[in-house]
């Protein structure tokens, strides 16, 4: 059977990342060989390689219970194991959000489970992930599939607890239960999931190449764990919403879609796909294939209409038959399951979109360093060439003219030093401005603000309290972004003045300081705001007034906002460190050139042979600089290679890049 297209694309993506990582490493060595490997730059490039290495592509599966999410995951990704790897069964099966990935640091197969009781704590799941001791870990023996499948059954574990405990954990509400099950005596005990979250590290090639699959439980898991909707789903490259052909689009499917899914992908709904699963229930031996086809087509259109998306974003499939077909290597059944159409869509759209983001990011980091280095090489080349020209013109110069030239060079050196003084004092102004920006974006400031908002909210964990606090919180964040934006503009203006001062009477041209924009972060906050508004107004929240859920929600909100601020802080910090870089490099070059000029003049002063000697030296230098520029261009070209055109001859995975 033809190799899964998704796998091919993921492998190509992995090789592409390896190529880029190698180019960056080659560049780092080259910088060292040219004595240009400044610590700051090396660190940034090193981080870029690390980013590539830890890059992950997440696909999340969400739906009401029993729509076939887990079966779909088994069929798309894990059919090689010739069995149903993750537990999938009738009724509620998956009890906690489950992330499948590969832990390249520990390099081990395991399932790690977070006890449900951690819901009582103030830490978010993202925080808890940093502390393995809080999780229960079971090793997975990948050579014993039966035992492994047995261990994986942990994700469906439940337990019976007194109703009060369930209430305390925010997993039971009398109002909600009554609205679903009618009035009556509240139960003494309630069944709740044993685990809150599961991490499965598994050495599957796709996962080793950076794929993360997020399986979620149906039945209000999204409402219970706000972190899913606030950060996990928005951060996934693709969200696959699963419906089932035998049930059609039910009220609860629609609620979930409208309250949690549709909005989490922004206006463009990028990466949002719907699968209409279980089309085998529409197969009918009495009908002819064209009739069956027509029924499926009409359900697809109907589904698209209910969800308000285009019909070509709805993929009719049958996960169960696809898994069976793959296990039995039955090409005809696989074709009828239509799974390959969905797989192709995922590989042709999701992977390239992700690749484009990674590429832009890498060009943003390494590309600007390339530019800066090229600039200084070009100006070095210009300096050497003009020195050589001068020398050639000096062949018949008399001592008097030479003296005059020495004098002029001394003057230029003095003028240069004066400019340096001005430069140093403007740098101090710049540093003051930078401090305002860094203070505004500091996590200490953020935590203090968050603490104040929380204090205000203490004792009123209600939707009304939430409304007020959210107002204060988002107003504060908007203010912060405004301050940063204004200061960044001013800083940029100051930097530009400093640059212009040097431009005035020199051959320094080309590189300009970069700008910094808070737009991306403001947009993130705007998205978070709408997500929060939706949560506040969602039926579950308003109906139950569960202080627990509100509190949980607020913690997730804070944790996500903190992440946005830390990202902005990081980018601003890099920007501020970089802003003067091209100029500093230019200054160093300029100084060197003037010194060399003096040295040349002195040599020529000594003897006519000195002139010839120096000229030869300059010609050799020119050739060397030109060769280095060619090397630099080659590396730059490799970095910026449009996606799809790269020729990876090495065919080694990223993990093998030392």
Q: Quick check: 277 binds ligand GTP (CB under 6 A)? A: yes
| Cβ-based nearer residue to ligand GTP, 206 or 240 | 240
| Cβ-based nearer residue to ligand GTP, 70 or 597 | 70
Residue 281 near which of ligand GTP, Mg ion, none (CB within 5-8 Å, type-dependent) = ligand GTP
Instruction: Measure CA 48 to chain center.
Output: 12
Q: Identify the three-state secondary structure at position 333.
A: helix
Q: Quick check: 66 binds ligand GTP (CB under 6 A)? A: yes
In angstroms, the CA 344 to CA 356 distance is 18
Which residues touch 505 (CB under 8 Å, ≥6 apart)?
none
Residue 172 near which of ligand GTP, Mg ion, none (CB within 5-8 Å, type-dependent) = none
Q: Quick check: 65 binds ligand GTP (CB under 6 A)? A: yes
Smallest separation, CB 217 to ligand GTP (Å): 5
By DSSP bridging, strand 57-62 and strand 211-215 are: parallel
Q: Quick check: 97 binds ligand GTP (CB under 6 A)? A: no
Residue from 4, 9, 23, 70 binding ligand GTP (CB under 6 A) = 70
In angstroms, the CA 146 to CA 525 distance is 46
In angstroms, the CA 376 to CA 374 distance is 5
Residue from 3, 35, 39, 90 binding ligand GTP (CB under 6 A) = 90
Q: Quick check: 299 binds ligand GTP (CB under 6 A)? A: no
Instruction: Measure CA 358 to chain center.
Output: 8
| Cβ-based nearer residue to ligand GTP, 336 or 614 | 336
Query: Of all helices (H) and strands (E), which one includes residue 214?
Result: strand 211-215
Evaluate whether 592 touches 379 at the Cβ level (below 8 Å).
no
Closest to 84 measured CA to CA, from 311, 292, 320: 320
| Cβ-based nearer residue to ligand GTP, 155 or 457 | 155
In angstroms, the CA 143 to CA 569 distance is 45
Q: Quick check: 318 binds ligand GTP (CB under 6 A)? A: yes
Binding site for Mg ion (CB under 5 A): 69-70, 93-94
Q: Any idea what the Cα angle at residue 353 is, between residues 646 and 563, rounded to 5°? A: 120
| Cβ-based nearer residue to ligand GTP, 63 or 564 | 63
Smallest separation, CB 216 to ligand GTP (Å): 7
In angstroms, the CA 260 to CA 250 distance is 15
Smallest separation, CB 319 to ligand GTP (Å): 4
| Cβ-based nearer residue to Mg ion, 277 or 337 | 277
In angstroms, the CA 350 to CA 124 distance is 28
| Cβ-based nearer residue to ligand GTP, 217 or 372 | 217
Smallest separation, CB 458 to ligand GTP (Å): 36
Q: Quick check: 94 binds ligand GTP (CB under 6 A)? A: yes
The encoded tokens of residue 416 equal: 């240069």
Q: Quick check: 338 binds ligand GTP (CB under 6 A)? A: no
| Cβ-based nearer residue to ligand GTP, 57 or 243 | 243
| Cβ-based nearer residue to ligand GTP, 114 or 498 | 114
Evaluate whether 488 touches 518 at the Cβ level (below 8 Å).
yes
Smallest separation, CB 240 to Mg ion (Å): 13
Contacts to ligand GTP from residues 34-63, by CB under 6 A: 63
- Span from 185-193, 318-326, 479-487, 546-554 in contact with ligand GTP (CB under 6 A): 318-326
Q: What is the CB neighbour count within 10 angstroms for residue 471?
A: 11
In angstroms, the CA 151 to CA 140 distance is 7
Instruction: Measure CA 230 to chain center.
Output: 15
Smallest separation, CB 187 to ligand GTP (Å): 21
Smallest separation, CB 84 to ligand GTP (Å): 8
Q: What is the CB neighbour count within 10 angstroms for residue 291?
A: 11
In angstroms, the CA 22 to CA 37 distance is 17
Q: What is the contact surface with ligand GTP in residues (CB under 6 A)?
A: 63, 65-71, 88-90, 92-94, 217-218, 277-278, 280-281, 318-321
């Amino acid at each position: 059977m033809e190799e899964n297209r998704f796998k091919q694309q993921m492998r190509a993506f992995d090789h592409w990342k390896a190529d880029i990582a190698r180019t960056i490493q080659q560049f780092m060595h080259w910088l060292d060989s040219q004595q240009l490997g400044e610590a700051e730059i090396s660190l940034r490039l090193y981080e870029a390689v690390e980013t590539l290495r830890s890059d992950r592509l997440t696909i999340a599966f969400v739906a009401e219970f029993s729509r076939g999410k887990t079966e779909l995951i088994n069929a798309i990704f894990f059919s090689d194991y010739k069995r149903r790897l993750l537990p999938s069964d009738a009724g509620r099966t998956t009890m906690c959000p489950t992330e499948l990935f590969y832990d390249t640091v520990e390099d081990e197969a395991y399932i790690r489970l977070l006890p449900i009781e951690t819901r009582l704590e103030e830490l978010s799941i993202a925080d808890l992930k940093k502390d393995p001791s809080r999780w229960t870990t079971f090793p997975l023996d990948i050579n014993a599939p039966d035992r492994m499948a047995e261990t994986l059954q942990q994700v469906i574990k439940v337990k019976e607890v007194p109703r009060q405990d369930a209430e305390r954990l925010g997993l039971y509400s009398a109002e909600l239960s009554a609205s679903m099950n009618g009035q009556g005596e509240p139960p003494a005990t309630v069944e709740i999931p044993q685990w809150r979250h599961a991490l499965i590290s598994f050495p599957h090639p796709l996962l080793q190449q950076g794929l993360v699959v997020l399986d979620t439980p149906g039945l209000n898991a999204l409402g219970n764990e706000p972190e899913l909707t606030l950060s996990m789903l928005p951060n996934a490259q693709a969200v696959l919403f699963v419906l089932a052909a035998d049930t059609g689009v039910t009220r609860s499917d629609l609620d979930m879609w409208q309250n949690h899914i549709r909005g989490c992908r922004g206006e463009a709904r990028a990466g949002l796909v719907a699968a209409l699963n279980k089309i085998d229930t529409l197969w009918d031996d009495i009908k002819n294939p064209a009739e069956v086809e027509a029924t499926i087509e009409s359900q697809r259109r109907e589904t698209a209409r209910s969800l308000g998306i285009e019909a070509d974003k709805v993929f009719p499939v049958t996960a169960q038959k696809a898994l069976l077909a793959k296990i039995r290597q039955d090409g005809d059944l696989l074709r009828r399951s239509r799974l390959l159409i969905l797989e192709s869509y995922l590989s042709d759209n999701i992977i390239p979109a992700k690749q484009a983001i990674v590429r832009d990011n890498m060009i943003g980091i390494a590309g600007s360093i390339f530019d800066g280095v090229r600039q200084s090489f070009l100006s070095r080349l210009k300096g050497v060439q003009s020195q050589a020209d001068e020398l050639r013109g000096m062949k018949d110069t008399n001592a008097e003219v030479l003296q005059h030239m020495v004098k002029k060079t001394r003057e230029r050196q003095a003028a240069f030093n004066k400019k340096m003084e001005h430069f140093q004092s403007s740098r101090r102004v710049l540093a003051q401005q930078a401090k305002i920006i860094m203070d505004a974006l500091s996590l200490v400031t953020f935590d203090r603000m968050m603490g104040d908002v929380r204090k205000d909210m203490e004792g009123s964990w209600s939707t009304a309290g939430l409304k007020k606090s959210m107002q204060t919180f988002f107003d504060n964040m908007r203010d912060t972004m405004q301050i940063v934006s204004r200061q960044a503009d001013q800083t940029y203006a100051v930097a530009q003045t400093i640059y212009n001062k040097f431009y005035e009477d020199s051959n320094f041209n080309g590189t300009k300081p970069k700008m910094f924009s808070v737009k991306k972060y403001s947009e993130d906050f705007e998205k978070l705001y709408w997500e929060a508004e939706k949560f506040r107004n969602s039926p579950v929240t308003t109906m139950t007034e569960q202080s627990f859920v509100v509190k949980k929600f607020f913690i997730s909100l804070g944790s996500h906002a903190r992440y946005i601020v830390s990202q902005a802080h990081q980018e601003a910090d890099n920007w501020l460190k970089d802003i003067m870089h091209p100029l500093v490099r230019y200054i160093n070059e300029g100084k060197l050139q003037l010194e060399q000029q003096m040295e040349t003049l002195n040599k020529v002063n000594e003897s006519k042979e000195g002139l010839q000697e120096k000229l030869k030296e300059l010609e050799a230098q020119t050739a060397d600089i030109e060769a280095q520029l060619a090397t630099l261009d080659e590396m730059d070209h490799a970095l910026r290679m449009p996606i799809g055109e790269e020729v990876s001859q090495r065919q080694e995975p990223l993990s093998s890049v030392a």
